[in-house]
Structure 1
Amino acid sequence: MQAVILARISSKEQRDGHSLDAQTRNLEQYAQRKQLNVIRKFTLVESSNKRFRPEFDKMIIFIKKQKTKVALIVDTVDRLQRSFRETPILNDLMSQDLLELHFVKEGNILSKHANSVQKLMWNMGVVMSQSYTDQLSDNVKRSFDFKVRNGEWCAQAPIGYKNATDVTTGKSTIVVDEDKADLIKQIFIEYASGLYSISSLSKQAYGWGLRSRNGCKVCPQLLHTLLQNPFYYGVMRVKGKLYEHKYDALISKELFNKCQYVRMQRSKTKVADKTKHTFLFSGVFICSASKRVVSCDMKKGKYVYLICRDPDNHSKKLWVNERSVVDQMQNKIDAFHLSNEDLPVLIEYTQHTLKLQKQHDKEIIYTLQKECDEIERQIDKATELLIDNCINQDVYERKYSELKQKHSDITVLINDQLQDTELLERSIILLLKLCNKASLLFKSSKTTLKRTLLKTLFSNRELNAGNVQCTTVLPLLSMLKTTDLREWQGQQGSNPRPTVLEICSNK
């Protein structure tokens, strides 16, 4: 029978002494003992954990071309695979009687007629191989999380910093790049002034002498990323979360926030200011087919149309009469109106609900504060143990870092709970009153105010072949229009609950 030899190593295993020559020699001796004719040898230097294995794929293609059964000889299961991704491919070849697997050290041979015990041994080998890689992954993740919580950056240093080695500990660290730090500060200062665009600031920085790591010009894209990197004011972003790092900050948080404000102001859509005519729906809608902003145009000096794409044929434009869209929006706004009896009830219910929420927030804050106090007590206890030489410095620093991180996380939760409920209450009530008068405002206001009103009251505004689709900022109002308010306030049943009026009257 013809045979193919597969020997594989990864770079780490090669350092550990698992050489390709040793594997190949052992497999050749096995082939001689089994009287197998070796027609090809594949030596792979790749990780079997990768999703795409080009060398492995080449071997499979070669085996398929033989048109007869081929014995694939490997040292152990983990030399062939460390996951079940390859199993369907190998099973398919064996079911066609084109492949026979030989695992030398396990002494297991699988073919089309393999029994359940042989298949179980193969699957168990894959499970153990995958378990090994999963354990390595877990160790790496634990190490990474520990470093992040200790404020250590585990990647290439941002521009303005450079990777270095701590002479006292021998560990890698990050230090300020004295040649570039002042230039980075100047970039933030100039951008915060609002006088420079990112493109012009990129040219200005090149004139100052700022270069990328490769010695090239800092392009606008890189500068855009740099200006959004919180690392420069003392916080690092890891997987979407922010952690304080232990390195020197180059700028203040206030300067960073000022830059973000300037950037966000410039990113706002100003479609209405760029057109010859002031259209009501300029920049208001997104085309549901193309996901782009719906533009407006005027024909014969008086007919206004909104231009979107056909949902069934995106290359085809649809011209929607503005009057049709105005009528649809007017109907949606008319639905906001509440009677003189319903509005006070809804406001009272809002006030009562927020009062209950405030009491609930106080209970949560009290519980979180107790946890903070307990953590502070544990920190004091650890400090006393260190002073009494009951624990060494390394143990103390590790414990202190863990407790400090927990304290920081809980403090964030407390701050989240400490929202201004009174301000929220005033905002909701003001919005309710605005909604109630929205119909009159929309009919009587000028174009600019109408557009502002639409953007305030509706979100997710889309135009789908002439049909308006949007979400109201207060979905409760839409729900109220579908049913009687007093019916919504409390339903009678086997377990009746009080109405909003009864709740508010008993406060």
Structure 2
Amino acid sequence: MDKYIIYCRKSTDEATKQVLSIESQVAELKEFAKSNNLFVTEIITESKTAKEPGREKFNSMLKSIEEGKANAILSWHADRLARNSVDGGKIIYFLDIGKIVDLKFPTFWFDNTPQGKFMLSIAFSQGKYYVDNLSENVKRGIRQKLRLGIWPLKAPFGYKNHPVTHNIVIDKKLSKLVSNCFTLFLNEKSFVKISRYLASNKVFGGKGKPLDLTRIRRTLTNKFYMGQFFYKGEWYKGTHKCFIPKELFDSVQSEIKKIEKPRTDGHRFAFTGLARCAECGAAITAEIHHKYYKGTDRCADYTYYRCTKKLGKCSQKYISEDNLKSEIKRIISAVALPSSWQSDWKKWFEEDKKLETKLVSQKSHNFENEIKLQDLKVSRLTDGYISGDIDPEVYKLKKNEIFEEKQKIAEKIAVLKEKGGLWLEPFENFMLRAFQARKIAAKNVVAEELRSFAKSVGSNFILEGNSLQTDYKLGYNTACSERAQNSPYFATRSLFAKRRRRDSNSRGC
């Protein structure tokens, strides 16, 4: 008797699509199995997109099949199993070698024959085409919105996304709250009071808690309220209406700078302005304490850092400069890579540079061939128009379509020449810092150098008690999390390459 595994999947990005919920799929498939006398050994459910390989439960199912615990799969449709060529290929390969003897779908016919496997491969390809086409359409829509000066994501606080025009419009109720927040800050100079004010008006953050101070600050400094917005590393002039007067916005920015820039009373302290207080969000300042030692009849100076407490009551205490240095060194040493890896990384990086140069050249050549193909289409179209075989209106329409396609290809070539291999430089800088980190953390470097190095590997430093935390920049988390098992060169490199490709894709490359 064939042993079936029921596999149900619904991606989080399909929440609004007409796809059965996991619970509904399970119920339907159980009923299907019962009516067709199928022996089910296991039910596997997964909430993850299938557009990329690497689904844990899907791979677990294939492992069970490989071990002989099951030899058939029951799923709602073929696209529940795979929307990418890798996973689809695994299913078909298992059919070829007999590890899988049957697939059943209530919404799709399959027979374990050459014709059936051919139809299955088409179904998998359709799933992949759907994902690729959807992704390209979304990117194209975002690019068009940016050209029109429309913010392409969820509307900022005080605005809303119009359900019909998809433009950003003013939310009459929330915009008044935002205006009041700006005025309140100008008068009270307190992020905490704004958070309380919004909570009293039933505006909360995640899990029903008051908005955190970082989000309050982000709102008060958001240039979207001045008609500008920042997306994917570029500034754009927005076409949305503004409801915050420029004078009010500028005054608030000035007050925020005063609060966040600690006074040093004539002294220069290396770590002021590096971190913010975890409790209240205010800046961290420094001061010198003088201590007299009676036994040796001498006076010593010690530097301490503390919260400025400018945003309200705060219970955080002092931290000595030595302890703060130790925390910074801990953060730096956490991203250090073994020097024994350096020669291999350098060799792999040089290979990547050569490969990237070759890929850019090949892509450029392919795009140029596409341009020639479009020119050939225009030539044939013109010949047909001159000979009278093509109607003038059709000729104009088709010629415009070809012209637009040529423009898109030309844009891709321009972006490729400008951005091709762009990930190599930041990745090389990451490598240099990661291999230098151990020396920086170990030796007694000057405080300014320690601060500069810390800011190069992390951002958003938060001080709580004697503990300093940070958000590591691109690459460092991956390198640190995987270095215990193996050299994470390829996993880290792929992050930079993906970022470059994503940024290029947003520009049409």
TM-score, normalised to structure 2's length?
0.43
Relative contact order, CA 8 A, sep 6+: which one is greater? Answer: 2
TM-score, normalised to structure 1's length?
0.43
Larger of the two Rg values belongs to structure: 1
